[in-house]
């Protein structure tokens, strides 16, 4: 069956890509000069025995290919190793970080989609008019401003009004009520998610606008109007839905990159997520953390690509495998 074939083929490709990414991850980090042992052995009165003990403990004394096989075996068992620096299982640390990153990124992306779609529809509807020009140009500019600059601008504008950093203000001994806690996190999330929204919405605006304009030029729309159907119904029922098709792919693909790109936002706003964790881990040569983080981010991108392939396939019957 063609559909099943397509699914299997894309699925297989996804798996192979994951494997390549895993291997690339492993060897890439082993190329880095300096090692965790050098760092951790730098204690007063450190002895050669200590360095050796640490090297053995981290398995760095075995030949590379053997380390690689051990790594693969452990990975299959769901064990990503122990962080050199925190001495805790990597998977726990990364999951805790992801729990912080994902809500912020989701909110930001969702806001970008909402703003992008609405401005795109507005622009298409009022094509050629001043609102169209303003909206389109704003979109292009917002897209062109570096993400970190947008973040810094928001900080300048809202200094003192909104929290400048961190995820919440938990100077409380008794856990606050759930909703209050949520509100606290929400207030802290406004600026980082807002930055993500500003930096991402531009592309959605332009894509929706073009897509809608194309759809509005289709024959069936002309037919519908001739039949006397209200404009609004035409636009929403037919045009927008068709126009959203390329949006779906764009969103799904962007989401994968936004998770990695949220790194800049996390750094500016001290958001304790996976981007910041990765960045810290690089300086510390914490190989297990790096491998784990890199793997999670890469796999998420691959999985989202695969999902978008499926969704696109489902939505557009014109596509064949």
Q: How far is the CB of 227 from another protein (least distance, A)?
A: 24
Dist. CA 286–CA 37, nearest whole Å: 10
Residues in 82-101 that interact with another protein by CB under 8 A = 82, 85-88, 93, 96
Residue found by looking up tokens 């050669």 in the block: 48
Distances in Å between the Cα of 140 and the Cα atoms of 46, 204, 205, 251, 278 are: 57, 10, 9, 17, 30
Residue 203: name the closest of 144, 129, 132, 128 by CA. 144
Q: Which of the ranges 60-68, 73-81, 107-115, 166-174 carries the binding residues for another protein, by CB under 8 A? A: 166-174
As a whole number of angstroms, the distance between CA 75 and CA 294 comes to 13
Q: Which is closer to another protein, CB of 127 or CB of 238? A: 127
The window from 2-10, 72-80, 211-219, 232-240 that contacts another protein (CB under 8 A) reads: 211-219
Alpha carbon distance 308, 246 (integer Å): 10
- In angstroms, what is the minimal distance from the CB of 154 to another protein? 10
What the block records as the tokens of 259 is 């998770």
Residues 215-254 that bind another protein (CB under 8 A): 217, 243, 246, 249-250, 253-254
The region of 62-70, 81-89, 109-117, 229-237 touching another protein under the rule CB under 8 A is: 81-89
Task: Measure the CA–CA gap between 223 and 234, rounded to whole angstroms.
Answer: 10
- Residue 140 vs 230, nearer CB to another protein: 140
Residue 165 in 3-state DSSP?
Answer: coil
- Binding another protein (rule: CB under 8 A), the pick from 98, 115, 117, 301 is 301
Map the footprint of another protein across residues 168-207, applying CB under 8 A. Answer: 168-173, 203, 206-207
Binding residue for another protein, selected from 63, 78, 130, 160, defined by CB under 8 A: 160
Q: How far is residue 36's CA from residue 86's CA, in Å, rounded to a whole number?
A: 12
Question: Judged by CB under 8 A, does residue 10 bind another protein?
Answer: no
Report the nearest approach of another protein to the CB of residue 76 (Å): 21
Other residues' Cβ atoms within 10 Å of the Cβ of residue 127 = 15
Residues between 107 and 146 that touch another protein (CB under 8 A): 127-128, 140-141, 143-146
Q: How many CB atoms lie within 10 A of CB 210?
A: 15
């Amino acid at each position: 069956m063609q559909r099943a074939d397509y699914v299997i083929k894309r699925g297989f490709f996804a798996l192979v890509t994951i494997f390549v990414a895993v291997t690339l991850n492993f060897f890439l980090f082993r190329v880095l000069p300096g090692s965790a042992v050098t760092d951790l052995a730098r204690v007063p009165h450190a002895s050669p025995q200590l360095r050796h003990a640490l090297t053995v403990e981290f398995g760095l004394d075995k030949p590379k290919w053997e380390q690689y096989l051990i790594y693969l075996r452990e990975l299959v068992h769901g064990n990503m190793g122990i962080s050199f620096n925190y001495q805790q299982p990597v998977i726990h640390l990364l999951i805790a970080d992801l729990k912080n990153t994902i809500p912020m990124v989701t909110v930001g992306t969702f806001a970008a989609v909402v703003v992008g779609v609405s401005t795109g529809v507005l622009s298409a509807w009022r094509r050629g008019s001043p609102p169209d020009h303003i909206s389109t140009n704003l979109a292009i500019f917002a897209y062109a401003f570096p993400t970190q600059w947008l973040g810094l601008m928001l900080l300048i504008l809202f200094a003192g009004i909104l929290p400048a950093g961190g995820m919440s203000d938990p100077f409380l001994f008794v856990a606050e009520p759930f909703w209050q806690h949520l509100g606290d996190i929400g207030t802290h999330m406004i600026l980082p998610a807002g930055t993500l929204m500003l930096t991402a919405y531009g592309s959605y605006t332009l894509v929706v606008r073009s897509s809608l304009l194309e759809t509005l030029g289709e024959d069936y729309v002309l037919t519908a109007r001739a039949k006397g159907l209200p404009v609004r119904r035409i636009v929403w029922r037919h045009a927008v839905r068709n126009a959203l098709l390329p949006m779906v792919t764009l969103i799904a693909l962007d989401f994968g990159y936004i998770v990695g790109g949220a790194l800049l936002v996390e750094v500016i706003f001290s958001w304790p997520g996976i981007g910041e964790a990765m960045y810290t881990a690089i300086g510390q040569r914490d190989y297990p953390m790096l491998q784990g983080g890199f793997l999670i981010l890469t796999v998420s991108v691959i999985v989202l690509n695969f999902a978008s392939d499926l969704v696109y396939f489902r939505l557009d019957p014109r596509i064949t495998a």
